[in-house]
Amino acid sequence: MANNVTAPRGMRDFLPPEKARRERALAVIRQTYSAHGFEEIETPVVEDYERLHSGLGGDNEKLSFSVLKRGLTADDMAAAHASGDAHDLADLGLRFDLTVPLARFYATNRADLPNVFRAIQIAPVWRAERPQKGRYRQFVQADIDIIGEPGPLAEVELITATSATLSALGLNGCTIRLNDRRILFGLLDYCGVAPERRESALITIDKLDKIGVSGVVAELSEFGPDSAAVLGGFLEKIEPHLAGGGVPLTTPDILSVLPDGIDPEAVASLETIANALTELPDGVQVRFDPTLVRGMGYYTGTIFEIAHPESGSSVGGGGRYDGMIGRFLGTDVPAAGFSIGFERIVDLLPENESVRGGIVLVHDAPTAGAVPGDGLTLQALARIKSQAVAAGERVRLERRTKNLTPILDRAAAAGFTHFAFVDAHATTFADLTRKPLT
């Protein structure tokens, strides 16, 4: 019986063309973020177990992969199984996002960082998801964060840089939806939801795009029929706006869909951000969405998500999380971030041609000898390839076979444009006759 040689569920291999496509997209993302003044950092793939389960990661904490302590015995495993509590078995875990590691990074390295730090993190993260289309157990996130800027300038910079990145990638038709957690809490107060039950109610509202208004109202009935009815009426009122992409980001438009008594500072903050976003590229628009929740409990103010008409899920998101770093540092530090969901973005990108150019050196089997007349020597083949690379060529070596068609076809599909035969008579790259690959 053959062994199973597929990648673990929810994780993938990438063949050279797809890997090249991903790297080209990552290069665009890095270059654009860097042009906007962000600096790239790197953090370990593992963090302390307690840090990853400190209540900052919301439901993602339940999906984290844990790393067992060294030296565990069978008795330790049996005791944990009997008690139903495996926490004592792990001291580390794989990161489930890049925000918690960034907060720890800043707390560790604050003395060596500027007062306002603009960070890039692009790296894989791991979650014990149930694998399905667009949802993997290992996936890449591309984050930018601004730490130390308390005002709306941080949100403006994040949205501007992200919009420029979407445009540079050639991804048109994106809508960045904005909301504020203070507006959400005001809505829940209006509906009569007790403060201690806010987070539970928000989890239900976050399902709006999956279960619809009726489903949300049904789930919220446990908070009281009056609360569910009031929220249901509000959702029905704004549903046409959401179908059109959202509400324009002006105070009159925002107030026109909100009940009285919503925090005026939160509304004014959104309009301030909108008024500053006058230079967004074509193909990206920003709208107000009062139902936008974002599932992470650490958000404290503005929140945002990227929607695209060809994706059934958001393709990016973020917000302000002023309270997180203080959990590690003991002193509150303002922070905001925006993450591109790379796996979903890369699936939406227009098809680009492979890297074009290069030459295939079709050679006879080389010999180890160096005596003229002994055939093509290994030394001569290595020298000719080195000369081709030094001349700026992308070079692939292929051994001559009776039927070269499959070999040359694969080379052409990989973007190579020429080939040349290398035999015992060739001594330099200049000696070779180049022929086009057709």
For residues 270 and 390, state if they share a domain. Answer: no
The stretch 90-98 carries a mean pLDDT of: 91
As beta bridge partners, residue 175 has 285, 307
Per-residue pLDDT at 369 exceeds 70:
no
The one-letter amino acid at 377:
T
Please tell me whether residue 36 adopts helix, strand or coil conformation: coil
Q: Determine which of 38-47, 282-291, 397-406 has the lowest per-residue pLDDT on average.
A: 282-291
What is the per-residue pLDDT for 43? 97
- Tokens 């009726």 appear where? 214
Sorting pLDDT into bands at 50, 70 and 90, what band is 188? confident
9 inside domain: no
Strands 117-126 and 90-94, sheet pairing: unpaired
DSSP codes, 247-312: B-SSHHHHHHHS-TT--HHHHHHHHHHHHH---PPTTEEEEE-TT---S-TT--SEEEEEE-TT-S
CB 64 within 8 A of CB 128: yes
Residue 372 has pLDDT above 70, yes or no: no
DSSP per-residue codes, 314-360: -SEEEEE-TTHHHHHHSS---EEEEEEEHHHHHHHSPP-PPPP--EE
Clarify whether residues 108 and 216 are in a common domain: yes
DSSP 372-425: TTSSSBHHHHHHHHHHHHHTT--EEEEE--S--HHHHHHHHHTT--EEEEE-TT
Tokens 């890369």 found at? 346
- Taking 3-state DSSP, the helix, strand and coil percentages for the chain, each rounded to the nearest 5, stand at 45, 20, 40
The answer to whether residue 1 is domain-embedded is: no
Q: Do residue 34 and residue 149 come from a single domain?
A: yes
Percent of the chain at pLDDT exceeding 90: 44
Binned at pLDDT 50, 70 and 90, residue 338 comes out as very high
My answer on whether 155 and 192 are in the same domain is yes
365 and 343 within one domain: no
220: its two tokens: 């919220």
Query: Tokens standing for 6?
Result: 């597929």
Residue 353 belongs to some domain of the structure: no
Residue 347 is encoded by which pair of tokens?
């699936």
Same domain? 223 vs 366: no
Among 301, 316, 348, residue at a domain's last position: 348
Q: What are the structure tokens assigned to 409, written together? A: 């076809």
pLDDT band at 58 (very low <50, low <70, confident <90, very high): low
- Under a CB-based contact definition with an 8 Å cutoff, are residues 154 and 334 in contact? yes
Q: Rounded to whole angstroms, how far apart are CA atoms 358 and 411?
A: 9
pLDDT for position 83: 65
| 348, 373, 407 - which closes a domain | 348
Tokens 């593992």 found at:
46
Residue 272 has pLDDT above 70, yes or no: yes
341 pLDDT more than 70? yes
Contact (Cβ atoms closer than 8 angstroms) between residue 246 and residue 177: yes
In the predicted model, what is the mean pLDDT of residues 200-204?
81
Instruction: Give the span between the Cα atoms of 380 and 376, in whole angstroms.
Output: 7
- Whether the CB-CB separation of 193 and 223 falls below 8 Å is answered with yes
Least Cα distance to 248 among 221, 228, 267 occurs for 267
DSSP 301-324: SEEEEEE-TT-SS-SEEEEE-TTH
Does residue 211 form part of some domain? yes
What pLDDT, on the 0 to 100 scale, is given for residue 433? 93
Give the rounded distance of the alpha carbon of 232 from its chain centre. Answer: 33
Residue 62: pLDDT band (50, 70, 90) is confident
Distance CA 337, CA 128 (A): 24
Q: What b/e string do you get for 409-425 counting C-beta neighbours within 10 Å, with b at 16 or more? A: eebbebbbbbbbbbeee
Check whether residue 89 and residue 69 sit in a common domain.
yes
Number of helices and strands in the chain (H, E): 15, 15
Res 11: pLDDT: 92
Beta strand pairing call for 90-94 and 335-341 = unpaired
Sign of torsion, CA 252 256 260 261?
negative
Does residue 382 share a domain with residue 319?
A: no
Q: How many domains does the chain have?
A: 2
**Residue pLDDT, tens place only, 135-182:** 889 999 999 999 999 999 999 999 999 999 999 998 888 999 999 999
* pLDDT digit string, tens, across residues 402-417: 999 999 999 998 889 9
Q: Same structural domain for residues 280 and 424?
A: no
The pLDDT of residue 387 is above 90: yes
108 and 181 belong to one structural domain: yes
Which range marks the domain in which residue 52 is found? 16-348
Task: State mean pLDDT over 237-247.
Answer: 79
Burial environment of residue 115 by CB neighbours within 10 A (0 to 12, 13 to 18, 19 or more): exposed
Q: Of 303, 322, 348, which closes a domain?
A: 348
pLDDT of residue 216: 81
- The domain spanning residue 104 has which CATH number? 3.30.930.10
Q: In this structure, are residues 318 and 325 in contact, taking their beta carbons and an 8 Å threshold?
A: no
Most confident of 69-73, 337-341, 372-376: 337-341
Which secondary-structure segment (H or E) carries 123? strand 117-126
Beta bridge partners of 395: 359
Does residue 113 sit within a domain? yes
118 vs 40: CA distance, rounded Å: 9
69 & 212 share domain: yes
Do 295 and 365 lie in one domain? The reply is: no
Q: What is the pLDDT of residue 230?
A: 84
pTM of the model: 0.85
In a domain, 7, yes or no: no
Q: Which of 82, 85, 83 is nearest to 66 (CA)?
A: 85
Residue at 76: amino acid letter: D
